[in-house]
Amino acid sequence: MPERYLVPDDLAANGLEFIPDGLVAAIGPDRTVRFMNSRAERITGLRAADVVGRDLVEALPLQDLGGDSWWELTDPWHGLETRTGHRERLLVLPSGRELLVTAQYNRRGRGRGQPVVSVVLGLRDAEGRRRAEKESAALLTSVAHELRSPLTGVKGFSSTLLRNWERFTDEQKRLMLETIEADADRVTRLITELLDTSRIGTGRLTVHPVPVAVLPRMEAQVERRVAAGADRDQFELHVGDGVDVVWADADRLEQVLTNLVDNALRHGRGRVSISAERSHWDGPAAVDVVVSDDGDGIAPQHRELVFSRFWQAGAKHGTGLGLYLVRGLVEAHGGEVVVEEAPTGGARLRATFPDLE
């Protein structure tokens, strides 16, 4: 049987020019590059005319992030005879370009222990991974910033109380302890949101819907803001006829309301409307929980983007996870959340919770 290199001469004709990833193939013990598609040219910044026909190791001098030659470390042709390639690795060219490289080592007769007759590299641009790393770094920075403020308050008030307990009146002590409790709740909420973000991303978020009285939940949102210094008159509550309960996980409903009201306060001019109404969506009977503000609203082209992770639209505080969590929590209940224009011209976010009766 004639020797097969598993890299035909008519690669381009076989459609490999049109695959979304870069492809470079080399054959024989002299490691001659036989093929390089145009996507590989764009990823590497090299011309196929300057690569094809050359020694693969010289044409693509890949290095690891420590600066060591990847070819010396892996050595497909003289290394372990059981290797069939390697999974995706982040490697670097001398030009500084970062590549995600996957390799397949084809051996004569496809048998392990046989000589390598061809090496095929799959190349992808590392920009996507770098972008994800930047998003993770931005999230860590935001989380650190969000945690620092309440933890500073907890530390400051608790230290003050411990050092000067006898000097404060009972009313002053109560105020400090209430502040400590509020800051601790804020830290707990942030940690919960981070855990829920992970669960949503992996599809492991669970909810346990029960009939929850909706008006007390809405009133609690207002009381919490008033206790923090907001004016009660800036909030408007409304519950429609026949809407006594919402079928929802009580803790998750609290998260949804908290994030929607926070978003309205952050992007509005102070007036916030919170309502619960019978829904008219195309599905089973349901309740719409609606929060509106009097801000500038959300442009139609951004009404889906606001539910993306890290979306902040110029905001200089927050983690950018609030509305991402809202959508994930509502969808876990079998509902939906959408952005509309409020009567005041601001944003109107409508979260629909299906009835389960």
**Residue 100 φ then ψ, to 5°:** -100, 115
Same domain for 117 and 135? no
Tell me which residue range forms the domain holding 152.
130-202
* Rounded alpha-carbon distances, angstroms, from residue 87 to 17, 54, 91, 122: 22, 24, 12, 10
Contact between 100 and 129 under an 8 Å Cβ cutoff? The reply is yes
Domain termination residue (choose one: 202, 221, 252): 202
Kindly state whether residues 141 and 270 are assigned to the same domain.
no
Q: What is the pLDDT of residue 212?
A: 95
- Total number of domains in the chain: 3
d(CA 211, CA 214): 9
Domain of 185, CATH number, reads: 1.10.287.130
HSE value, Cβ hemisphere, 13 Å, CA-based, for 99: 33
328 is a domain residue: yes
**Domain finish residue from 109, 125, 141:** 125
The answer as to whether 228 is a domain residue is yes
The pTM (predicted TM-score) of the whole model is 0.60
pLDDT at 317: 57
Q: Which of 217, 214, 219, 306 is nearest to 266 (CA)?
A: 306
Looking at the domain assignment, is residue 4 inside a domain?
Answer: no
Domain with residue 221: its CATH number is 3.30.565.10
Would you say residue 6 lies in a domain? no
CATH of the domain at 69: 3.30.450.20
Residues 245 and 152 in one domain: no
Same domain? 315 vs 219: yes
Q: Does one domain contain both 314 and 226? A: yes
Is the residue at 7 inside a domain?
Answer: no
In this structure, are 278 and 301 located in the same domain? yes
- CA 80, 81, 87, 88 dihedral sign is positive
* Domain-embedded: residue 118: yes
CA distances 48 to 14, 59, 126, Å, are: 18, 10, 20
Q: What is the pLDDT of residue 158?
A: 92
pLDDT tens for the chain, residues 1 to 357:
344 445 555 555 566 677 788 999 999 889 999 999 999 999 999 999 999 999 999 999 999 888 889 999 888 988 888 888 889 988 999 888 889 999 999 988 666 678 889 999 999 987 767 766 676 676 677 677 677 878 888 899 899 999 999 999 999 999 899 889 888 888 888 888 778 877 887 788 889 999 999 999 999 999 988 987 889 999 999 999 989 999 999 999 999 999 999 999 988 888 999 999 998 777 778 999 999 999 998 888 888 888 887 666 655 455 677 898 899 999 999 999 999 999 888 999 999 999 986
The residue from 202, 231, 246 where one domain ends is: 202
Both 183 and 219 in one domain: the answer is: no
Residues 338 and 249 in one domain: yes
269 and 302 both lie in a single domain: yes
Give the single-character DSSP code of 309: T
Could you tell me if 223 and 308 lie in one domain? Answer: yes
Q: Does residue 44 sit within a domain?
A: yes
Q: Is residue 2 part of a domain?
A: no
Q: Quick one: pLDDT at residue 195? A: 82
85 and 116 assigned to the same domain: yes
Question: 243 with 348, same domain?
Answer: yes
